[in-house]
Structure 1
Amino acid sequence: MDGVGFSLAIGTLRALAFVYDVLTFPVYMILQRPWRLRQLSRKSRGILVDIEREQSNDVSVDIKENDFNKTNQFRDPPYKFDKAKAIQEDAKSVTYRSVVEPSEFHVALAKENIDTMAKMFEYCSKKYPNRKCLGTREILAEEDEVQPNGRVFKKFVMGDYRWKTFAEVNILAAHFGKGLRELGNAPTKNVAVFAETRAEWMIAAHGIFKQNIPMVTIYATLGDEAIAHAINETEVSTIITSYDLLPKFKKILELTPKVKTLVYMEDQLKSLGSVEGYKEGVDIVKFSEVLQKGSNSTIESQLPKPEDTAIIMYTSGSTGVPKGVILLQKNLISTLRGFCDCTPIYESDVMIGFLPLAHVFELMVESICLFGGVPIGYSGPLTMIDSSSKIKKGTKGDASVLGPTVLTSVPLILDRISKSIQEKVQKSSNLKKVMFKFAYDYKTSWKRRGYSTPLIDRVIFSPVKQLMGGKMRLMISGGAPLSPETHEQIATCLCVNIIQGYGLTESTSCACVQDLYDMSFGRVGGPCTNCDIRLVSWEEGNYRVTDKPYPRGEILIGGDNVSAGYYKLPDKTDEEFFEAEGKRWFRTGDIGEIHKDGAVKIIDRKKDLVKLQAGEYVSLGKVEAQLKTCTLVDNICVYGESSKDFCVALVVANHPQLRDLAAKKGITDKSFEELCVDPRVEKAVMQELAEHGKRSKLEKFEIPAAVKLVKEAWSPDMGLVTAAFKLKRKDIEERYKHEIKRMYAS
């Protein structure tokens, strides 16, 4: 299609759309009431309450029961006040506190005196005894599937989801906790959980909570040395793992002398058989055997207190060896209260769980679903959608069978979805490209005015929405800042609401959550009701609370959600945590600005800031976030040296996009690995990044002046990114130090 044809097609579509708009506008205005959505977008939820009393958890004193909607759900109240107000301000700092109304469930937590996770799930099992709670997809068989090229892949023949009710899960959890006691694990003696996200993980966790046993959580993607470090540091003798991960312990057990028992979650199709190759003297016990021991046990549950340690969560941090973050029972409940007030989840929802439960963000979102009576069906990357690698042709993926309405995600996954949409559009016919561009622009235009576009959604975007079962309405993004471009594209194409949250393991994942009605992109919302947010001027980085139009500075989080500190690292704990004004505070290292409505925007990170030779500051994270939206880039690490006047970049290129770019340069006879080392291709990629950087409004000195294409994708098991896919800069710099040196030399 030439330029004239393109213009004609767009003109025709615009004319048809104009006629359609004229005819339907009055109907849409009456039915959709866009002025209400615009008003809610500018405002926040709730009525102003006695903040001091609310912060002391005595919410029931000042809030009458009749003030709340009785729909037994996390509500979307129609009233208005700003998201936060300043409660303290001086020349170097300003502190903000939420003015959002506590929800019905927040009040229930206070009224029922629920101050531990053990009490929380006991409450849920009594309130929703016969409701679906945790679901696992049945695997009927594994068969060989011959591909067109003759290769044979193993594929699953899958059935429906099998569900356990809240009452059943509570009984199983009680049995598991007692079973651990029968195996010799006393209360307050650490137990490690090293397993993929699944129903047994949650059952084990609540069983452990019931016995006041601290749970050490370790990411399943960590390397052997990091796993051994966490196990040895916490001195665990019992580890709970899965059938798939069990073989890793043939090596790990040689590094962990205190481990005496391995409990493994069974596979649906395979049995363990021989224990040859495992260290002698270590008992290997089935998950079901622990449940059986617990069912026959006469041991009484030893319930925890709010100040007891619930979890020692090992973060696969971006620097150094993993640190154990101590999370108390009261930390988890505090986040639960905060999430109740800002997470729009309803009893009719269904959540699909797939992010690591060893990540506090996933654990707390799933916990808020359970507290609201929302069932959770578990999945994994190999079976989630119809085209997943382990799904047999003609068989439905987990999302199609489950029909979830809610999921959690991290920005990297959403970036990949965004790029896959762009790639499919680019490879489609010219007519489809025109139709898609018009539909996208049309929908975003009306959406910003408060209208939905049901016809466009059904005709154009419905196939994209069907990838996740067709019922998805809410995605909750956390773990890292989500780029505004990705946020808008995913929300538009998948026809879902995406809300960003901000928090860290050290704050039990809770600090800020974006309002459901906020139509802006790139912000993480106002402070949650369970904590205060403080900005402190950072003079070195030129961020001050006196900046105009918005105060800027390092973000500090204060409240009951703030961790007790790092396990066996008192100096590090004293460096990053402190007590003030009767609260525990954590220095995040993140730089934020707070807008007039109380919403926070993350704009930088102290550790990511590099001062170049000419004196300009470059925020590496900011540059990476912008360049990552380029379709050529799957991942990128920008590096800067203070002795140089420019930055360089290591780029994990997208395979199809790199081949297309090379073909445009007349290079068609090389493999992907060969393209990565071809100087002509590197130059072309650098030019593409420079143009993309300019479009993204990066300064000239922020755009990398040299690029090195990386042949391998960065994954957590390589030790180059965390389980949440954050860059581990020091490890990347060490691995590619010669390439970085050559880029600067060039």
Structure 2
Amino acid sequence: MTTVTDTQKLLDSRPPSVATLFQDRVAATPDRVAFRYPVPPASGTGPDEWRDLTWAASAKRVHSIAAGLIELGIRSEERVAVAAATSVDWILSDLGILCAGAANTTVYPTTNAEETAYILADSGSRVLIAEDGVQLAKVREQRAELPELAHVVVIAAADATPAAGDPDGFVLSLAQLEERGAAYLEKHPDSVTDRIAQLRADQIATLIYTSGTTGKPKGVRLPHDCWSYMGRSIEAIKLLTYDDVQYLWLPLAHVFGKVLTAGHISTGHVMAVDGRIDKIIENLPVVRPTKMCGVPRIYEKVYNGVAAKARAGGGAKYKIFQWAVGIAREYAKASQDNFVKTGKRTVPTGLSVKHSIADKLVYAKLREAFGGRMEGCVSGSAALSPEIGWFFAGAGIPILEGYGLTESSAASFVNRIEDFRVGTVGKPLPGCEVRIADDGEILLRGPGIMQGYHGLPETTAEVLEADGWFHTGDIGELSADGFLRITDRKKDLIKTSGGKYIAPTEVEGQFKAICPYVGSIVVIGANRNFCTALISLDEPALLGWAKEAGLEGTPYPELLAAPETKAMVEGYVKQLNEGLQRWQTVKQFRILPRDLDLEHGELTPSLKLKRPVVERTFKDLIEEMYEGAVAK
């Protein structure tokens, strides 16, 4: 068991930079597998081949990338951007940038050409490491806006083709960069290690641009010490350990994905990397991870998928599933209550027997779908419905909710496997201070807090006090023993025209827990005299429901408009309302003509809801619900 003294020693002894942290890891376990990654079959059909990369082999590529950037003229603290999906190449490129003494500007590959150009220009990025020709085309389209961009390094070698109008040497492949770096190292063998030795703890390592719902994104400046601290903190609380196999699919342009790479380096576990979201279900039984991190939307989809599959299996099978869900929640709640009171996760004998039966019938199959070795998942970026949390905990796959922001390097609070509490985001990481303001806002201070917003001192001063306290904009409550519960975003709280405050995420979470067909739900009600909701339905789940509803073969768009579908959703809304206060109840709803998605800008790349965008897009439906209506 790690003591407070051991934890403090671990934090106090953290190296000044991520690059040094990486060098120390390579020296400690050079021959251990660092990464596993998929290689699609040459034929284009069949399963992927998963390959291993050791820490020593990773270091060889990282140093070649770093030396290649130095050879291109990149100087200390200059920015090199990465616009690519999650992959081993992304992580090695990031480490190469840091080992060259530069800073990484992260760009989502889904970002459009105009905003990509804005981020590259605002950050002053001199090199872009792009995934493929699609990302390269964005830069070419906005070339006039990017006078400082000297080179584009393309990961997909086949797409690294110069075009008419490109400056000399503008485009090269990642393989070519590594070749140039290797040649540079032969002549200047100490060039990379010298850059690493010069790095300071307060030197900028990463610029992450927040995906704001309005206005231009802001660049969050995160120095090396943020990541070094995060790596050691994750190791100290044993969120990730040396013996783990972690499955990483989260976007690395997002702070949640990025912080996991720091934890990986610090602990030295094996990380299986594949950013293809549609491959998660297929990969889990192959990778057989012990840990996985994700966002609530993923766990909601897993839960709804399992529920829909059970329902499709017939009435008897669905009743067994519903019974097992109830037992899982009851078991998890009893276990948690007893742990809080006695320090032991015990449950009544009768409940234990029922749980054992449900485990054989339902939970064991769910755990096998996760690979059979999953010790726990971490959820962040948005609130997880407690009812879904109770279910997974009772089924033997605890989902450990955490909390943090881009401005706090992602992880400020997190539940621990040995002491987790559903409905909370856990306790603070060691070294992180927390304070609840008079209006309920959560304030944070510690080594994980940003330096500020890039080039925006006045905006920085609005949220970051001179003594280091950061205003999160979130509302929360601290328990007597240090567990934090997030009640809502300060700016997202709904105040009805009757003066009642409502936390929409709380209502939305409850609906997701009872309706297995929901894709998204957005509760509306600010300055209105009652609440309404926009509801989208998950296509695969709804098509499964259609079979038993006598609508098999009906296309998805027609199903959404069918009176039977409206009646089905209405039943779940009625069930939702039975558990709400009168002023929280949803008086009217509309089923959306499609699910919310990234393409239409309604979700961030980390699958977080953009409420203002949704409300603008479906303004007519919202007005229709309130037009001439009177709350009942």
TM-score when normalising by structure 1:
0.75
Question: How much has 1:142 moved relative to structure 2?
Answer: 3.8
Instruction: Output the CA distance in 2 between the equivalents of 1:683 and 1:162.
Output: 48
Distance in 1 between the 2:541 and 2:96 partners? 48
3-state SS of paired residue (2:154): strand
**1:498-537 equivalent positions in 2, closer than 5 A:** 498-518=399-419, 520-537=421-438
Partner of 2:341: none
Say which of 556, 561, 573 aligns to 2:443.
556
Counterpart-to-counterpart distance in 2, 1:167 and 1:177: 15
- Structure 2: how far apart are the matches of 1:364 and 1:677? 43
CA 1:275–1:652: 2 relative to 1, 3 Å: farther
**Number of the residue aligned with 1:726:** 608
- Residue identity matched to 1:690: V
Match in the other structure for 2:310:
425
- Determine helix, strand or coil for the equivalent of 1:607: coil
The Cα shift of 1:498 comes to 2.0
Distance of 2:552 and 2:280 partners within structure 1 = 32
How far did 1:431 drift?
3.3
Whichever of the two has the greater Rg, that structure is 1
Alignment of 1:579-728 (within 5 A): 579-580=466-467, 584-629=468-513, 630-642=515-527, 644-655=528-539, 658=542, 671-677=555-561, 680=563, 684=567, 687-695=570-578, 697-728=579-610
Instruction: Map Cα deviations across residues 259-292 of structure 1 (whole Å, 9 max, x no partner).
Output: 331112137xxx3375558856672211111111
- 2:311 touches 2:317 (CA, 8 Å); kept in 1? no
What is the deviation of 1:565? 1.0
Partner of 2:183: 296
- How far residue 365 of structure 1 moved from its aligned partner, in angstroms, is 2.1
Name the Cα RMSD after superposition: 2.8
AA aligned opposite 1:344: L
Identity of aligned residues (%): 26
Alpha-carbon distance between aligned partners in 2 of 1:369 and 1:405, rounded to the nearest angstrom: 13
Corresponding residue number in structure 2 for 1:240: 129
SS of residue paired to 1:472: coil
**Cα 1:649–1:573 shift into 2, 3 Å:** same
Instruction: Give the structure 1 partner of residue 385 of structure 2.
Output: 483
AA aligned opposite 2:104: M
C-alpha offsets along residues 313-354 of structure 1, whole Å, 9 cap, x if unaligned? Answer: 112134433221000111222222332332433322111111
Structure 2 CA distance for partners of 1:692 and 1:256, relative to 1, 3 Å? farther
- Is contact 1:241–1:262 with CA below 8 Å preserved after alignment? yes
Q: Deviations over 1:29-51 (max 9, x none)?
A: xxxxxxxxxxxxxxxxxxxxxxx
Letter in 1 for 2:593: K
Shift of the 352–683 alpha-carbon distance from structure 1 to 2, 3 Å rule, reads closer
Q: Equivalents in 1 of 2:310, 2:6: separation in Å? A: 42
Structure 2 CA distance, aligned partners of 1:497 and 1:597?
21
Partner in structure 2 of residue 20 of structure 1? none
Compared with structure 1, are the counterparts of its residues 571 and 385 closer, same or farther at alpha carbon in structure 2 (3 Å cutoff)?
A: closer
Q: Which has the higher contact order (CA 8 A, sep 6+)?
A: 1
Q: How many residues align?
A: 601
Matching residue of 2:75:
186
Q: Is the 8 A contact 1:532 1:557 kept in 2?
A: yes
What displacement does 1:514 show? 1.2
Q: What secondary structure is seen at the aligned counterpart in 2 of 1:141?
A: coil
Instruction: Tell me how far 1:243 sits from its aligned partner.
Output: 2.5
> C-alpha distance in 1, partners of 2:568/2:316?
28
Residues in 1 aligned to 2:284 and 2:569: alpha-carbon distance in whole angstroms:
38
The one-letter code of the counterpart of 1:326 is: R
Cα deviations by residue, 1:230-251 (Å, 9 ceiling, x for unpaired): 1121122310121364354266
- Alignment partner, residue 209 of structure 2: 314
Alpha-carbon distance change, 716 to 167 in structure 1, aligned in 2, over 3 angstroms: same
Unaligned runs of 5+ in 2: 336-344, 347-351
Q: 1:173 is matched by which residue type in structure 2? A: V
Equivalent in the alignment of 2:374:
472
User: Secondary structure in 2 aligned to 1:705?
Assistant: strand
Query: Which residue matches 2:340?
Result: none
- CA 1:524–1:743: 2 relative to 1, 3 Å: same
Matched residue, 1:566 = 453
How does the TM-score come out when normalised to structure 2? 0.88
SS of the residue 2:622 aligns to: helix
* Offset of residue 588 of structure 1: 0.6
**Where do 1:252-401 residues align within 5 Å?**
252-254=141-143, 256-258=145-147, 259-266=149-156, 271-272=158-159, 275-276=162-163, 283-297=170-184, 298=188, 299-300=191-192, 301-303=194-196, 304-381=199-276, 384-385=279-280, 397-401=282-286
1:366-405 alpha-carbon deviations (Å, 9 max, x no partner): 321221120111123366356xxxxxxxxxx433332211
**Counterpart Cα distance in 1 of 2:622 and 2:466:** 42
Aligned-partner residue type, residue 188 of structure 1: E
In the aligned structure 1, how far is the partner of 2:624 from the partner of 2:307?
33
Structure 1 unaligned blocks of 5 or more: 1-74, 78-99, 144-154, 387-396, 539-552
- Please give the alpha-carbon distance, in whole angstroms, between the structure 2 residues aligned to 1:442 and 1:119: 49
Name the structure where helix makes up a greater proportion of residues: 2
User: SS of the counterpart of 1:384?
Assistant: helix
Q: Call closer, same or farther: CA 1:531–1:426 in 2, change over 3 Å.
A: same
Relative to 1, partners in 2 of residues 1:557 and 1:745: Cα closer, same or farther, differing over 3 Å? same
Q: Deviations over 1:695-741 (max 9, x none)?
A: 4x222332333322222322223211111211112222222222222
Confirm or deny: 8 A CA contact 1:254 1:279 kept in the other structure.
no
